A and B are shown apart, each in its own frame.
Chain A
C-alpha cells in the first residue's frame, strides 16, 4: 500500500553522535517513551528467547485436542484447529513478525540510503532516481507483493522483500532531503573547499549525520511491516506454513472465528503490542531528537 510517511528531518534535528547524551536524557524523562522502550525490550526478549519460552514446538500438531480454551492445563492460551499450542505459536509468531520487520528495514536501508545519498548529492542523478522513485511509488504495494509471491511462492523472505520495496521510496526521499540539508552545512562546505572528493564527503560527513533519521524511519517501518505481514497472510501471501507468524495465526483463526474467537484475539493483541511498542518508542525518540518540538510542548 502506498507509503506516505515521507517525513523530512524535523527542524533542528541534530546528528546522533554529538547529542547522544542529550537524547538519552530526554528519553529517560519521558514516561511514555520509557514504557514503549520497556515493552519493546520485552517483545524483543520474547522473540530472542522463543525456544526457551515455548513449551511446545509451534508446529506440533495434536490431533486429539483441537480448540482447547485458554487456561487449559498444559495449554496456557489454548490450542488452535490443529491442536497446536497457541502460546508457543504466539511466542514464535512474534519472532517471525519481528524478523519480517527487521529484514524489511534492512532492505529499505541498504537500497534506499545509497540512492538517497546519490540523489541528494548529485543533481543529475537526482532526476533519474526521482523518476524511478515515482514509478515505484505509483505501483500499488499489493501488486508487487502478489507478483513476488506468484514467482517464488510465499515465504518469510518474500513477504519482507515486498514490504521492504514498498518502503524504499520513502527512505530515498528522507535520505535525499537530509543530504540536501547537510550538504549546505558549514562543515561540508568547508570540506569541499579543501578539495575532498564527493565520495569522501558522503562517507565521512553526510552518511553519519543521516543516522538519526534512519533510526526514526526504522521505528516507522517496523510496525508497518508487522501489519503488512498480517495483511499479506490474510490474502494468502504470507509466510510458508507450518512456520507460525502473527499474520498466519490471524488468518487461520479467521476461518473458525465463530467457534473460537480467542484464537483470533491473541495474535491480534500480539500485533497491537508490537506496533504499540514501536509507535511509543518512535514518538519518544523523535521528540528527543527534536528539542524544539519538546520545548514547544512545555
Chain B
C-alpha cells in the first residue's frame, strides 16, 4: 500500500522504453503458459493414513544439551492452568506442569503425578487418588497431597476459573496423608479422571501461588522436566531444564523455545530452512511433500474434536439461557436439516481439500475414543437426489437459502466454499458470510446466526465433547438445542462408571442428535506435526498436545 509520492515543484521521472519491454515480457509469459497442452491429471487414489504418534530416539544416540525450537501455530493465553482456555497453552504447559494423569499413545489414561488410577467407592461418591512422594516443584517446594488439594480448591473457587465445570459436583477435598487425596461428590461423576489428565490435573506450587496469587501465570511454577524461563509476548516462550525434576536423567535438552508463527506455510518454510525443529498444525496440503523430504518426519494422530455446522434451533437469548422460538423452517423442520446433512459429500470434501489427511465425521465421538461404538459411528448416506426430494416434500423454497457464518481464515473459507458447492447439488443455496474469529465467537454466544462453521478441539472424555454442547441450557449449547431424551442419556452417561455402559448411552444420544441435527458434524482433523530428523523423542497423542519432555538432538 505504499504509494508513489511526488514533491511540489519536481517533475516526475518519465520511464523509458524498458516499460514497454516489461509489458511485452509479461504478456509473452502468459501467452506461453496458454499454448502448452497437457491432459487432465486425475486426483490420486485415496490412501489411508495410519497414526504415527512418536519419533522415538531408539538406537540413535541422544546428545545432551541444545535449544529445541518449536513453531507454535497460535499464541497461548496466560500460563495459568486454572484460567487458561487456549488449546495452545497445553502445548507449553506439557513440558513444565505435569498432571495427575496423562494419556498414552493408545488414548488410555495413565498416572503421571499420581501413582495409579483413582479408586472410586462403590456408590461412586468418593474418589481416592495416590500421588508420588519423590517429586519437587521447580522452586524447591515439596510436592504432596496438600498441594493437590490446594490446586483443586483454587480450580473450584478462583474467580474466572475455567476448570470449575470440568471437575463436576464436588462436595469436599481432603489430603488424608502426604500421598493420598480424597475427593467427595454429591453425585457420581465419571469424567473426573479425564479432566485430571488435562489442565485441571496440573498441580501448582503452593509457595508460588501464595506469592503471586492471580499473577501466577506470569511465572508458573510446577513439577516438570522443564521450568519457566521467559515469555516475550506475541513472540516466544522459553523453558529450561529443571535439575530438581524427579526423572531428570531422561531429560536431554537445555531449553525449549516455543516460537509463535500463525501462518502454516511459514511454519513449513522455517522447518525446511532448519530455523525450527518441530512445527504443529501442518497444513494437509503440505504434508505429502514434506513427508517425502529428507530430514523431515511427520507425526499424525486423529483428533478427539470435530468440525461441524452448528444450526440455530432456539438460541434467541444467548447461550445458556432457555431456548426460544425462532420460527424459521430450518429451525422447526428437522427434515430440512437431515436433507442438508445428506447433501454433503463428506468423503469428496476431505479428499479434495485435505488430501485425505483429515477424515469425514458424523458424530461428536471420535472413532479412536474408547467410548466409540457402531451406533456412534453411523453416518447419513450421501444422497443429494433424496435430499432435494425431502426439501420438495417439506414444501419449502428450492434451492433453500441458508446463511453460513465462518471465520475468515483461509482454511475455513476453503471448506465453506466446497461445502457450498456440495450442498448446491442437494438443493441448498448457502451464502458464505466470513467474519473475524472474535466476532464469530460473539455471534455464536448471542445466537445471531442461522448456521455457523466452527470446530471443537476435543476432550479425552466424550462428556466434554457432548454434554455442554447438546444438553438443554449447556454452557456451549450454541444451537439452543433441547431434547429431554438426549438430556437424560447424557446425564446418565456422566454418572455411570462402566465404560461399555457409557459407550452405549453415548451411542444412543448420537443417534437422536443425528435425527435432530442441531450440529451437522462434518470432519475430524488430524493433528499433523512435522519435525526435523535432527531431533528425536517427540510424541503427540490423541489430545493433540506435542510432547517434547524427553526429546533430544541426535548425535551424528
Among residues of B, the one whose C-beta sits closest to the C-beta of A151 is B439
Instruction: Determine whether A254 belongs to the interface, using a CB cutoff of 8 Å to chain B.
Output: yes
Closest chain A CB from B156 CB (angstroms): 36
Q: Is the CB of B23 within 8 A of A39?
A: yes
Q: Is the CB of A236 within 8 A of B436?
A: yes
> When chains A and B are docked, how far (Å) is the Cα of A10 from the Cα of B17?
24
Question: Given contacts A236-B409, A255-B285, A258-B289, is CB(A32)–CB(B418) below 8 Å?
Answer: no
Within 8 A of B (CB), among A238-271: 240-242, 251-252, 254-259, 262, 269
Question: Given contacts A32-B19, A296-B11, is CB(A81)–CB(B353) below 8 Å?
Answer: yes
> When chains A and B are docked, how far (Å) is the Cα of A39 from the Cα of B420?
36
> When chains A and B are docked, how far (Å) is the Cα of A141 from the Cα of B479?
37
Q: Is the CB of A231 within 8 A of B1?
A: yes
Please encode chain A, from 154 to 171, with 1 for each CB lying within 8 Å of some chain B CB and 0 for all others.
100000000000000000
Q: Is the CB of B434 within 8 A of A7?
A: no
Q: Is the CB of B17 within 8 A of A31?
A: yes
User: Chain A: how many interface residues by the 8 Å CB criterion?
Assistant: 74
User: Chain B: how many interface residues by the 8 Å CB criterion?
Assistant: 65
What are the residues of chain A within 8 A of B289 when measuring CB–CB?
258-259
Closest chain B CB from A77 CB (angstroms): 6
> When chains A and B are docked, how far (Å) is the Cα of A68 from the Cα of B41?
6
Please encode chain A, from 17 to 50, with 1 for each CB lying within 8 Å of some chain B CB and 0 for all others.
0000000000000011001100100000000000
Instruction: Determine whether B283 belongs to the interface, using a CB cutoff of 8 Å to chain A.
Output: yes
> When chains A and B are docked, how far (Å) is the Cα of A39 from the Cα of B19?
11
Q: Is the CB of B2 within 8 A of A71?
A: no
Among residues of A, the one whose C-beta sits closest to the C-beta of B269 is A258
B37 CB contact (under 8 Å) in A71, A149, A280: A71
Q: Is the CB of A283 within 8 A of B434?
A: no
Among residues of A, the one whose C-beta sits closest to the C-beta of B345 is A63
Q: Is the CB of A5 within 8 A of B5?
A: yes
Closest chain A CB from B451 CB (angstroms): 15
Within 8 A of A (CB), among B327-352: 345, 348-349, 351-352
**Which of A240, A241, A296 has the most B CB atoms < 10 Å from its CB?**
A241
What are the residues of chain B within 8 A of A60 when measuring CB–CB?
421
Q: Is the CB of A150 within 8 A of B436?
A: yes
Q: Is the CB of A240 within 8 A of B35?
A: no
Please encode chain A, from 62 to 75, with 1 for each CB lying within 8 Å of some chain B CB and 0 for all others.
01111111111111
Instruction: Determine whether A4 belongs to the interface, using a CB cutoff of 8 Å to chain B.
Output: yes
> When chains A and B are docked, how far (Å) is the Cα of A141 from the Cα of B3?
13
Q: Is the CB of A255 within 8 A of B264?
A: yes
Please encode chain B, from 1 to 42, with 1 for each CB lying within 8 Å of some chain A CB and 0 for all others.
111111111011011110110110010011001111111111
Among residues of A, the one whose C-beta sits closest to the C-beta of B419 is A61
Instruction: Determine whether B232 belongs to the interface, using a CB cutoff of 8 Å to chain A.
Output: no
Instruction: Determine whether A272 belongs to the interface, using a CB cutoff of 8 Å to chain B.
Output: yes
Q: Is the CB of A76 within 8 A of B34?
A: yes
What are the residues of chain A within 8 A of B351 when measuring CB–CB?
63
**Which of B7, B16, B285, B433 has the most A CB atoms < 10 Å from its CB?**
B285
> When chains A and B are docked, how far (Å) is the Cα of A279 from the Cα of B43?
42
Instruction: Determine whether A131 belongs to the interface, using a CB cutoff of 8 Å to chain B.
Output: no
Closest chain A CB from B551 CB (angstroms): 26
Instruction: Determine whether B275 belongs to the interface, using a CB cutoff of 8 Å to chain A.
Output: no
**Can you name 17 A-B residue pairings with CB atoms under 8 Å?**
A1-B1, A10-B11, A32-B17, A61-B421, A63-B421, A63-B422, A64-B42, A66-B352, A70-B33, A71-B38, A72-B39, A75-B40, A76-B33, A154-B408, A240-B433, A290-B11, A296-B11
Given contacts A67-B41, A256-B283, 16 further A-B contacts (CB under 8 A): A5-B3, A39-B23, A65-B40, A68-B40, A72-B38, A72-B41, A73-B39, A82-B417, A153-B435, A255-B285, A258-B268, A269-B26, A269-B29, A292-B11, A293-B11, A297-B11
Top 6 A-B residue pairs of the complex, sorted by shortest distance between their CB atoms: A71-B36, A236-B408, A1-B1, A293-B11, A61-B421, A5-B3
